[in-house]
């Protein structure tokens, strides 16, 4: 008896139900059993209509992505769909939760679709670097038109059931119990004598000209920069004008091409890396199973500066009650302003309606009394980066909060271990390193110490999931994962290149052409050069670094060239504009600093800029792995793709290193070690993996099984 797809007769309806937790992915077994269930239904004389639905939280998240790396077994998606579409009985899909990718494509091959009011339907394949390859590019345009189909597939964002109805994608939006509504729908079909209605027999009512294609691509230009999947997608949708059999053959070829692309391999790697990083690694599986995460309903934040306010917004957005504490009424008033203006800007940009903003603002309360946070399920300290102050706040919290209550510090520079040690319950202390802007950044570094308990980590993961952030665990060390790699690798190299002769604009442009959202100097100007300088002062208390280490940025801070906020930094910004204009004053400063250090300046190629910045990032990443600061190379990829603008379609620095080939990476690192000096010492891990013909991915597979 089948476990994944069940079949039952509900006279006159043959009810087929997919039950493949957690997301009803349509893998090989589901396809096999679907075909089997359809065959059984067709044999029954009492069945006159077929209904396909799913149990669990959603209709289906699509094809089983974990099967993409091996040949897809038969029956293929196309074979299953042809079976459904050519069925002599009408087939209805009943959709709840999500119908994504291959899940939606399955529904498109059915003759009718009923969707629950809160269901969402989408084609997110582009986010994985592939095109819908199960008839989606041919059937969706036949139902809703080529232009609407292109828009849906380019954005990857699902549409609501009412919007899907308006588009012609679903026939009925069901209120109440979906199964009852769908059964009623089926019986009505029988009653009215309505039979099969194959989507493939329809014709596409509109076309796509070049102007329309360009207009459709424009809003996605930033996300799709450096990618190629969209070109394949356009080609496939254009083919929907052809007879179905021809179009579907073109789609199959293009889908295969997209699946085999580096872009797709990288994006699929990031997809799974993001899911894996949010799991307990380095904690024995027995401990992980026993770890009971605490339920979080109310969060308290101590400190109402920019970070504290941003964190408050992040939690309010996630539907939690937030209490912000500060002992300075003026600071609380400023925080209120920050929160109001952030929401006002979201409303102005059309990201949310005023009612939603008001509701979220209403979730955030202020208090001047620290004791009031006693009821919070999670307390996050976000006061100034000062060891004494943080120690005071954490010890105070530790003295009155129940011992199992999680306390997090939002430090980015201080030793979490030292902070934990000063409390009586160090097991419940960890770092939650939010990135600016805290409500929008997708990354959350969870900093664990030798004392942090599995329960605390488990709760932190749950918090990250609730905030829809990618959680990555870092051991407590200089800069944690991301900033360590940025400071000792990527950004340091960018600064050295300036001293050696490159200009800020040249460095930024080269790295933006490589695919970074923004070059390093533009990032520094955006965040504030003083912020970096202050952070390094704190970090140097843990470990110092020899000169030249951010000597340019620190001089700019001294000169009050703090970046965009003062109108001058690595660049000039005229009259409040965000446009970075090169400034000779900065070049003169760089020349002076280089001269003082005996660095002779020369012409530097863009290729050298990219190679040095990326290889140094990879090398420090490998050291971070060697030192056990990150548990997996894939975790580093998540940090860099979700928090530092590394091009997602290259999979993150460590995945990218694998695609370059570690022996080649090592060769170039050795070259720079010889020409530039000690700090290019090749990571032992790279040497070991290169010698063994291995990769970071293989290392992840073999090393993280604690
Ligand atoms: N295939 C295989 N596994 C999948 C999957 C899929 N399509 N979608 C999710 N999963 C797995 C995740 O890897 C995760 O596994 P673990 O618990 O082992 O880590 C588990 O399901 C739960 O996923 P999430 O943690 O992401 O759960 P969530 O509730 O936060 O999000 C979701 C659910 C919105 C469906 C999200 O998982 C998601 O976006 N999935 C991918 C959807 C997608 O891209 N579909 C298109 C697939 S390609 C396709 O269908 C091609 C085609 O044309 C045939």
Please confirm, yes or no, whether 105 is among the known catalytic residues. yes
Please confirm, yes or no, whether 418 is among the known catalytic residues. no
Query: What are the residues whose beta carbons fall under 8 Å from the beta carbon of 672, sequence distance 6 or more?
Result: 612, 615, 616, 680
Mean pLDDT, consecutive 10-residue stretches, the chain (706 aa), reads: 84 95 96 94 92 97 92 91 95 98 98 98 97 97 97 97 97 96 96 95 92 95 93 97 97 96 96 90 51 82 95 96 96 96 95 95 96 95 94 95 94 95 95 93 96 94 95 96 96 97 98 95 95 93 90 97 96 92 96 96 97 98 97 97 96 98 98 92 97 97 63
Length of the chain: 706
Ligand 1 within 6 A of CB of 256: no
Task: Tell me which residue has its CA closest to atom 37 in ligand 1.
Answer: 61
Query: What are the residues whose beta carbons fall under 8 Å from the beta carbon of 433, sequence distance 6 or more?
Result: 410, 411, 412, 444, 445, 446, 447, 474, 480
- Cα(23) to centroid of ligand 1, in Å? 6
Task: Tell me which residue has its CA closest to atom 28 in ligand 1.
Answer: 23
Ligand 1 within 6 A of CB of 150: no
Give whole-number Cα distances, 603 to 495, 586, 596, 600, in Å: 15, 17, 19, 10
Q: How far apart are CA 53 and CA 60, in angstroms?
A: 9
Q: How far apart are CA 614 and CA 656, in angstroms?
A: 9
The predicted pLDDT at position 281 comes to 62
Active-site residue identified among 33, 125, 251, 321:
125
Which of 23, 31, 128 to mutate for ligand 1's pocket (most ligand atoms within 8 Å of CB)? Answer: 23
Ligand 1 within 6 A of CB of 267: no
The predicted pLDDT at position 286 comes to 47
Atom of ligand 1 nearest to the CA of 98: 35
Atom of ligand 1 nearest to the CA of 272: 13
- Cα(59) to centroid of ligand 1, in Å? 12
Active-site residue identified among 105, 172, 263, 381:
105
Which of 135, 139, 275 to mutate for ligand 1's pocket (most ligand atoms within 8 Å of CB)? Answer: 275
What 3-state DSSP class applies to 388? Answer: helix
Give whole-number Cα distances, 589 to 456, 493, 497, 552, in Å: 48, 18, 14, 8
Other C-beta atoms closer than 10 Å to the C-beta of 660 total 14
Phi, psi of 26 (to 5 degrees): -95, 85
Query: Which parts of 516-632 fold into alpha helices (H)?
Result: 520-527, 529-542, 551-558, 584-596, 606-626
Ligand 1 within 6 A of CB of 467: no
Which H/E stretch holds residue 13?
strand 13-18
Q: Could you give the strand order of the β-sheet that contains 406-409, starting from the edge strand earlier in sequence?
A: 364-367, 321-325, 298-302, 378-381, 406-409, 429-434, 443-448, 470-475
Q: How far apart are CA 7 and CA 53, in angstroms?
A: 11
pTM attached to this predicted model: 0.94
Ligand 1 within 6 A of CB of 278: no
Task: Tell me which residue has its CA closest to atom 10 in ligand 1.
Answer: 23
- Cα(278) to centroid of ligand 1, in Å? 14
311 and 338 in contact (C-beta within 8 Å)?
Answer: no
Query: Backbone dihedral region of 693: left (phi > 0), alpha (psi from -120 to 50 degrees) or beta?
Result: left
- Cα(104) to centroid of ligand 1, in Å? 13
């Amino acid at each position: 008896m089948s476990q994944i797809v069940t079949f039952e007769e509900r006279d006159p309806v043959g009810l087929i139900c997919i039950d493949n937790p957690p997301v009803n992915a349509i893998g090989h077994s589901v396809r096999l059993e679907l075909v089997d269930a359809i065959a059984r239904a067709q044999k029954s004389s009492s069945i006159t209509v077929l209904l396909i639905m799913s149990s669990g939280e959603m209709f289906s998240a699509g094809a089983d992505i974990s099967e993409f790396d091996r040949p897809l077994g038969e029956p293929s998606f196309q074979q299953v769909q042809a079976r459904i579409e050519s069925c002599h009985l009408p087939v209805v899909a009943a959709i709840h939760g999500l119908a994504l990718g291959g899940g939606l494509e399955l529904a498109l091959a059915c003759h009718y679709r009923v969707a629950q009011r809160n269901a969402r339907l989408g084609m997110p394949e582009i986010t994985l670097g592939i095109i819908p390859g199960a008839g989606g590019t041919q059937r969706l345009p036949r139902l809703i038109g080529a232009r609407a189909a292109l828009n849906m597939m380019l954005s990857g964002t699902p549409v609501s059931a009412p919007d899907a109805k308006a588009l012609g994608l679903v026939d009925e939006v069901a209120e109440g119990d979906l199964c009852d509504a769908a059964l009623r729908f089926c019986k009505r079909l029988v009653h009215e004598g309505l039979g099969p209605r194959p989507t493939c027999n329809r014709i596409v009512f509109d076309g796509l000209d070049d102007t329309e294609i360009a207009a459709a691509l424009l809003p996605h230009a930033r996300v799709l920069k450096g990618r190629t999947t969209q070109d394949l997608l356009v080609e496939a949708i254009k083919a929907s004008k052809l007879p179905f059999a021809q179009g579907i053959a073109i789609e199959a070829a293009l889908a295969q091409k997209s699946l085999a692309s580096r872009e797709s391999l990288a994006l699929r790697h990031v997809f799974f890396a993001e899911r894996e990083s949010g799991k307990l690694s380095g904690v024995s599986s027995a401990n992980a199973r026993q770890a009971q995460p605490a339920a979080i309903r109310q969060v308290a934040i101590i400190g109402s500066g920019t970070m504290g306010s941003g964190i408050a917004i992040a939690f309010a957005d996630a539907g939690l009650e937030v209490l912000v504490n500060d002992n300075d009424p003026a600071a609380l008033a400023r925080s209120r302003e920050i929160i109001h203006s952030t929401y006002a800007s979201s409303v102005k940009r059309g990201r949310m309606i005023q009612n939603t903003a008001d509701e979220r603002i209403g979730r955030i309360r202020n208090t001047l009394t620290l004791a009031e946070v006693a009821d919070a399920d999670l307390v996050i300290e976000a006061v100034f980066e000062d060891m004494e102050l943080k120690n005071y706040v954490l010890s105070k919290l530790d003295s009155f909060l129940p011992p199992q209550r999680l306390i997090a510090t939002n430090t980015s520079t201080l030793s979490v271990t030292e902070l934990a040690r000063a409390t009586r319950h160090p097991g419940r202390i960890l770092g939650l390193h939010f990135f600016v802007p805290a409500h929008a950044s997708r990354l959350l570094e969870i900093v664990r110490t030798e004392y942090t308990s599995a329960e605390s980590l488990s709760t932190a993961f749950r918090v990250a999931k609730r905030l829809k952030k990618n959680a990555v665990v870092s051991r407590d060390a200089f800069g944690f994962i991301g900033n360590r790699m940025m400071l000792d690798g990527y950004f340091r190299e960018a600064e050295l290149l300036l001293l050696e002769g490159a200009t800020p604009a040249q460095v930024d442009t080269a790295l933006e052409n490589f695919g970074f959202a923004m070059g390093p100097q533009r990032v520094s100007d955006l965040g504030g050069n003083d912020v970096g300088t202050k952070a390094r002062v704190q970090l140097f208390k843990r470990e110092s670094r020899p000169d030249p280490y951010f000597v340019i940025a620190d001089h700019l801070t001294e000169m009050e060239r703090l970046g965009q906020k003062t109108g001058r930094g690595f660049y000039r910004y005229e009259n409040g504009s965000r446009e970075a204009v090169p400034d000779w004053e900065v070049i003169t400063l760089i020349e002076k600093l280089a001269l003082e250090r005996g660095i002779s300046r020369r012409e530097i190629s863009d290729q050298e800029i990219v190679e040095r910045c990326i290889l140094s990032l990879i090398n420090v990443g490998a050291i971070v792995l060697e030192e056990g600061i990150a548990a997996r190379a894939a975790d580093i990829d998540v940090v860099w793709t979700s928090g530092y603008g590394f091009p997602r379609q290259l999979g993150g620095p460590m995945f990218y290193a694998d695609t370059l080939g570690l022996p080649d990476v090592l060769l170039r690192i050795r070259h720079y070690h010889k020409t530039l000096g000690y700090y290019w010492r090749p990571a032992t891990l790279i040497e070991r993996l290169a010698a063994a013909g291995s990769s970071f991915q293989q290392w992840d597979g073999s090393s993280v099984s604690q």
